[in-house]
């Protein structure tokens, strides 16, 4: 008979078993491996979250149509913040709802919630999302240029403020054209905002920023020239955002957060510097979040992007987003943008 002692289960195996049983969230697994003695507050938070997730499966589905409606203002890993009548709820989504939905819940979704009667450690009331209402508009991007899977970003916005900067970093016209297509495809009104007009343009850029901006205007697209430094265009920006829900989009470092802080300082959105080494902005927004504006309306800040994969756009319908190319009147830089997008769609 072997005298060897039976080995104890490895910690990772024990963690896997506990995760399968729903004892803690996936994102906390690494923390559990590093810190086996968790604080009392952390343990209580884990218990509350696990209980809330189980409640999302066990709650009654009766009377859904009579439940109150709120709007999602931010998404976390397993939870959503939902605002209703100026009260923010911490919500879980009924798992059966997740199974039948085509896509996950996104910021801006209107949802019916069922209050659980409990509060989180910050004193926010907790609830379960029972239903997602139909979307009027949706801003969507694909997981890649190959359009394998769609990734909705924002729902029920009225317009999309596409922000670029004259310099530091320079304008990427191809990215702007992709965002214009995404906005129009999702039924959002696009606005092209060229920021940092106090800076001299990059001589290597073609076309020159003002020339391109005026060309977009000829195509019927709203345009805006801004500078926070000289307070240029801020009154017009405020007027364009008033009483509308606006998605902010653009590369990192172009000044999206600075513009919103300039017209409503109380929001105090984080502002990131531009790296001197790469001349690209540092990301300051890590997930989309909806912010109310004091003068009416709301903005939804989104993370800066380097690429923007298009969803449900094909080589066959691309001409509809480039009427100037179809008519043979497009300048070379617009034709080049069209060709690059068409090439990516053909792959």
pLDDT tens-digit map of 276-324: 333 333 333 347 899 999 999 999 988 766 567 788 888 899 999 999 9
Top pLDDT among 314 and 23 is at 314
pLDDT-derived band at 259 (thresholds 50, 70, 90) equals very high
Per mean pLDDT, which of 33-47, 54-68, 90-104, 253-267 is the most reliable? Answer: 253-267
Q: Answer with the residue of higher pLDDT: 267 or 260.
A: 260
Taking each helix axis from N to C end, the angle separating 256-263 and 234-241, rounded to the nearest 10 degrees, works out to 90
Exposure letters 211-234 (e unless 16+ CB within 10 A, then b) = ebbebbeeeebebbbbbbeeebbb
- At 101, is the pLDDT very low, low, confident or very high (cuts 50, 70, 90)? low
For residue 39, pLDDT beyond 70:
no
Residue 8 has pLDDT above 80, yes or no: no
- Residue range 172-186: mean pLDDT, rounded: 92
Q: 138-346 falls under which CATH superfamily?
A: P-loop containing nucleotide triphosphate hydrolases (3.40.50.300)
pLDDT, average across residues 169-184: 91
Percent of the chain with pLDDT over 70: 69
pLDDT of residue 25: 43
The pLDDT > 90 percentage for the chain reads 50
Q: What is the pLDDT of residue 310?
A: 86
Question: What's the CATH number for 64-132?
Answer: 2.40.50.140
> What is the mean pLDDT of the segment spanning 107-122?
93
Bond into 169 cis (ω within 30): yes
Q: Which residue has the higher pLDDT, 282 or 226?
A: 226
Helical spans, DSSP H, in the chain: 11-20, 29-34, 40-58, 95-100, 173-185, 209-218, 234-241, 256-263, 323-327, 332-346
Residue with tokens 């409503």: 264
pLDDT score recorded for residue 50: 57
Average pLDDT over residues 73-86: 91
User: For position 257, what pLDDT does the model report?
Assistant: 87
Say yes or no to pLDDT of 120 above 90.
Answer: no
DSSP string, 106-168: -BT-EEEEEEEEEE-TTS-EEEEEEEEPPPS-EEEEESSTT--SEEEEEES-SEEEEEEESSS
Which pLDDT score is estimated for 76? Answer: 87
Task: Using the predicted structure, report yes or no on whether residue 239 has a pLDDT greater than 60.
Answer: yes
Which of helix, strand or coil describes residue 214? helix
Whether the per-residue pLDDT at 59 is higher than 70: the answer is no
Summarize the confidence of residues 180-194 as an average pLDDT.
95
**The pLDDT value given to residue 252:** 84
Show me where the domains of the chain are located: 64-132, 138-346
Q: CA 311, CA 150: separation in Å to the nearest integer?
A: 6
Confidence of residue 94 (pLDDT cuts 50, 70, 90): confident
Whether the pLDDT of residue 24 is over 50: the answer is no
Comparing 107-121, 222-236, 303-317, the range with the smallest average pLDDT is 303-317
Q: Give residue 331's pLDDT.
A: 95
- Distance from C-alpha of 117 to C-alpha of 109, rounded to nearest angstrom: 23
User: Mean per-residue pLDDT for 312-337?
Assistant: 94
């Amino acid at each position: 008979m072997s005298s060897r002692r039976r080995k104890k289960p490895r910690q990772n195996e024990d963690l896997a078993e506990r995760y399968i049983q729903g004892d803690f969230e996936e994102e906390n697994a690494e923390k559990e491996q590093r810190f086996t003695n968790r604080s009392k507050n952390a343990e209580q938070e884990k218990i509350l979250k696990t209980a809330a997730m189980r409640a999302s499966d066990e709650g009654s589905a009766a009377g859904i149509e009579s439940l109150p409606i709120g709007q999602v203002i931010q998404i976390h890993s397993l939870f959503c913040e939902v605002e209703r009548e100026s009260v923010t709820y911490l919500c879980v989504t009924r798992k059966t709802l997740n199974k039948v939905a085509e896509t996950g819940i996104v910021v801006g979704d209107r949802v019916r919630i069922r209050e659980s009667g409990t509060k989180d450690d910050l004193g926010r009331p907790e609830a379960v999302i029972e239903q997602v209402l139909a979307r009027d508009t949706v801003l969507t991007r694909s997981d890649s240029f190959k359009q394998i899977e769609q990734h909705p970003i924002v729902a029920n916005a009225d317009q999309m403020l596409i922000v670029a900067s004259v310099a530091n970093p320079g304008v990427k016209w191809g990215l702007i054209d992709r965002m214009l297509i995404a906005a129009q495809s999702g039924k959002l009104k696009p606005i092209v905002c060229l920021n940092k007009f106090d800076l001299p343009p990059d001589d290597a850029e073609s076309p020159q920023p003002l020339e391109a901006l005026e060309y977009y205007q000829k195509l019927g697209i709203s345009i805006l020239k801004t500078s926070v430094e000289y307070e240029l265009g801020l009154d017009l920006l405020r007027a364009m955002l008033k009483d509308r829900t606006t998605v902010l989009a653009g590369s990192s470092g172009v000044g999206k957060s600075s513009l919103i802080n300039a017209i409503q300082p109380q929001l105090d959105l984080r502002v990131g510097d531009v790296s001197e080494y790469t001349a690209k902005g540092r990301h300051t927004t890590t997930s989309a979040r909806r912010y109310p504006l004091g003068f009416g309306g709301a903005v939804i800040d989104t993370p800066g992007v380097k690429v923007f994969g298009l969803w449900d756009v094909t080589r066959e319908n691309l001409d509809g987003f480039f009427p100037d190319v179809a008519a043979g009147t497009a300048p070379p830089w617009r034709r080049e943008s069209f060709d690059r997008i068409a090439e990516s769609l053909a792959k």
